[in-house]
Amino acid sequence: MEFVIKNTEAEQRVDKYLKRALKNAPISFIYKMFRKKDVKVNGKRTSISYILKEGDVVSVYLKEELLQQFKKEQLLRPVTPDFNIIYEDENILIVDKMKGILVHSTEEEQHITLQNMVLSYLKKKGEFDPDDPSGFIPSPAHRLDRNTSGIVLFGKNYAALNELIKLFRERDKIIKKYTLLVRGITPKAGKIDFPLKKNPETKIVKVTPINKGGKEALTIYERKKVFTKSQLSLVEAELMTGRTHQLRVHFAYSSHPIVGDNKYGDFKLNEYFKDVYSYKSQFLHASYFKFLKLDGILSYLSEKEFRSNLPPKEKSIIESLQSENT
């Protein structure tokens, strides 16, 4: 069996490529093929650490019945795309996620997800073939909670996705900001610096000292609007670290829980927003993203900024609160 490497599949190790191409093959079997010299690139024996280039021919010597057993099954269950495109080029896709949509599939929901919507969109464009057993799967470089709306970045080829994931992990060459409505009147600007720890069983995140397993978590913010009558603040917050539920826990612990947060929020305030505005989710929106000075495949995106406006429901709430304030 031969695989010809496309540009979307280049810049990854050959063993990782084969793990995708032969999805059902045990990892031990894949490494055994390398030990037995049953994997060649461009007709020559290769090591597992070889980095593939566009146009490389990967030859796998495998019995036909095993090949069919190990091939990747169809991944895509078609779903109607429901997102706005903020930016797109040959390497990345930046979309505006709606509330109520998962980014990735879970045991509870495997069909209606943002990734499946993006894959359906790219399939229609001819940029993704779910039946190609060696094909790269365009994927998000980060996540948002189901009930958080806003900016999500996807990598459209392996090299771009790998670079995006690295940027989100290291966080020193990107700026990511959120817009949130919180209880109380916050300071004009501030810093929240409390370590966080997630309970793997309950999925609840709590402020926890580092010597008891907490991980460093830092948020900085600026107050954008004050609604004195309602005792609420519209805040723009920047994540300096990327912990699970970081903004939700940090603001709740600082006595300014996010409106509508049904896990860490003010339940009496949440009920008020349900009754008055029919609002049943957290007021949290990924509104701004910026690349700083970049190197490599995404260097052309250096200093580029991307914005997402508040969804209509949140925008109408702010307008209503503002009218009450005047």
The whole-number average pLDDT for the span 310-323 is 96
Task: Provide the number of structural domains found in the chain.
Answer: 3
The pLDDT of residue 124 is above 80: yes
| 297 and 196 belong to one structural domain | yes
- Residues 106-118: tens digit of each pLDDT: 555 446 789 889 9
**Nearest Cα residue to 149 out of 194, 86, 223, 191:** 86
Q: Which two tokens stand for residue 196?
A: 């966080």
Q: Please give the residue range of the domain that contains residue 158.
A: 84-168
Give me the pLDDT at residue 307, please.
Answer: 98
- Stated as kind and residue range, the H or E segment containing 222 is strand 218-227
Pair 158, 177 in one domain: no
pTM: 0.80
Instruction: Give residues with Cβ within 8 angstroms of 105, minimum separation 6.
Output: 111, 113, 115, 116
Look at residues 257, 293, 16 and name the one whose alpha carbon lies nearest to residue 158: 16
Q: Each residue of 168-215: pLDDT tens digit?
A: 989 999 999 999 999 999 999 999 999 999 998 888 999 999 999 999
| Per-residue tokens: 110 | 């495997």
pLDDT of residue 2: 83
> Tens digits of per-residue pLDDT, 251-302?
999 999 999 999 999 999 999 999 999 999 999 999 999 999 999 999 999 9
Q: Is residue 77 part of a domain?
A: no
Task: Examine the residue annotation and report whether 266 is marked as an active-site residue of this protein.
Answer: no
Looking up residue 59, the CATH number of its domain turns out to be 3.10.290.10
| pLDDT, mean of residues 213-222 | 96
What is the Cα–Cα distance from 155 to 168, expressed in whole angstroms? 12
Residues 101 and 217 in one domain: no
Q: Which one from 145, 261, 266, 275 is the annotated catalytic residue? A: 145
Whether pLDDT at 69 is above 90: no
Do 318 and 177 share a structural domain?
A: yes
Tokens of 109: 């929901």
| Residues 158 and 178 sit within 8 Å (Cβ to Cβ) | no
pLDDT: is 30 or 142 the higher one?
Answer: 142
